[in-house]
Amino acid sequence: MRIGVVTFPGSLDDHSALRAIELAGGEPVSLFHGSTDLKEVQAVVLPGGFSYGDYLRCGAISRFSPIMESIIIAAEHGFPVLGICNGFQILCESHLLPGALTRNSDLHFICDDQKVAVENIKTPWTAGYTQGQEIVIPIKNGEGSFQCSDETLAELEAESRVVLRYVGKNPNGSRNSIAGISNKQGNVVGVMPHPEQAIEELTGPGDEGLIFFSSILKEMVGR
């Protein structure tokens, strides 16, 4: 099962995402931003980091990478895409997901172990969780405050497209404590917290993030 991870200039968590796919039992495939070739992967992860140094706006330049042309077209036809942190920002800039990520409400970069609830288990990336399951995975970002219009917010909630929601204190001022959302079809998911940094007890707050990666592998076998 080939799952791709895109390396943009300034991607940081690409190696961790590759490792997460490997630990989950998949075949990780490294993709480079400068090519349109998806190398026959069956799903793709846009990893965390500071692609293009977050210049202009987070994700605003990466969105125009050659690889994104291929990903945008594929995603519109149901190809599973997971954007983590900077990847989420790129998905918003690409209009594959609604809304935008803005500066955290306290204006600081925040690195913390964060409790979140999995509120939508119908996506291929979260199918392995139980509805409402609370998990602890790291957040680490400066611009993680999810903002959108009232209409979009109502739509996201009505269509149960909130994938992850912060539990307890809202760390960054996100609307409705939203930590992750999906598109209408559910194949494109963006999350601010980092499941790929919670794949083993030794180096993360736990291993509950690994289910994102085992979920997609199981879903793809089913197809």
Partner 1 sequence: MSLDTVAVATANPDALQPYEQLGLKADEYASIKQILGRRPTSSELAMYSVMWSEHCSYKSSKVHLKQFGEKAPHSDALLVGIGENAGVVDIGQGYAVTFKIESHNHPSFVEPYQGAATGVGGIVRDILTMGARPIAIMDPLRFGLADAKDTRRVLPGIVSGVGGYGNCLGVPNIGGEVVFDETYAGNPLVNALCVGVMRHEDIKLAKAHGTGNLVVLFGAKTGGDGIGGVSVLASETFNDAKPTKRPSVQVGDPFAEKVLIECCLEIFKADLVVGIQDLGGAGLSCATSELASAGSGGMEIQLEKVPLRDPSLSPEEILMSESQERMCAIVEPSNIKHFMAICKKWDVTATVIGEVTDGTNLHITFNGELIVDVPPRTVAHDGPIYNRPIEKPTYIAERQSAKINVPLPSSPAEIKAAVLTLVASPNIADKSWVTSQYDRYVQGNSVLSQPEDSGMVRIDAKTNLGVAISTDVNARWAYLDPYEGAKLALLESCRNIATTGAKPLAVTNCLNFGSPEDPGVMWQFAEAVRGLADICLEMGLPVTGGNVSFYNQTGSVAILPTPVIGVLGVIQDVRTRTKMGLAKSGLEIYLLGRADANLSGSEWAYLHNEIGNFAPKADVAMETRLVNLLLEGQPLFESAHDISNGGLAAALTEIVLKNKIGAEITIDDVGVALMSETPGQVLIAVDPKSSHELIALAETHKIECRKIGISGGDALTINGAAIPLAELSQAHTETFPKLFG
**What residues make contact with partner 1 under the rule CB under 8 A?**
9-10, 12-13, 15-16, 19, 34, 48-50, 52-55, 106, 108-112, 138, 140, 142, 194, 196-197, 199, 202-204
Report the amino acid identity of residue 165.
R
Query: What is the DSSP secondary-structure string of the chain?
Result: -EEEEEE-TTB-SHHHHHHHHHHHT-EEEEEETT----TT-SEEEE--B-GGGG-SSTTTTGGGSHHHHHHHHHHHTT--EEEETHHHHHHHHTTSS-SEEE--TTSS-EEEEEEEEE----STTTTTSPTT-EEEEEEEESS-EEE--HHHHHHHHHTT-EEEEE-SS-SS--GGGEEEEE-SSSSEEEESS-GGG-SSTTTSS-STTHHHHHHHHHHHHH-
Q: Shortest Cβ distance from residue 98 to partner 1 (Å)? A: 27
- Of 120 and 214, the one with the shorter C-beta distance to partner 1 is 214
CB nearer to partner 1: pick between 48 and 190: 48
Q: How far is the CB of 88 from partner 1 (least distance, A)?
A: 16
The single residue of 58, 85, 92, 148 carrying the catalytic annotation is 85
Catalytic residue among 143, 196, 208, 219: 196
CB of 202 vs partner 1, minimal distance in Å? 6
Cβ 104 to partner 1 shortest distance, Å: 10
Q: Nearest Cα to 71, choosing from 127, 6, 7, 10?
A: 6
Catalytic residue among 33, 143, 194, 219: 194
Nearer Cβ to partner 1 (54/219): 54
Q: Is 196 known to be catalytic?
A: yes
User: Which is nearer to partner 1, 75 or 84 (by Cβ)?
Assistant: 84
* Shortest reach from residue 214's CB to partner 1, in Å: 17
Q: Distance between CA 132 and CA 118 in Å, rounded?
A: 5
CB-nearer residue toward partner 1: 158 or 202: 202
The catalytic residue positions are: 85, 194, 196
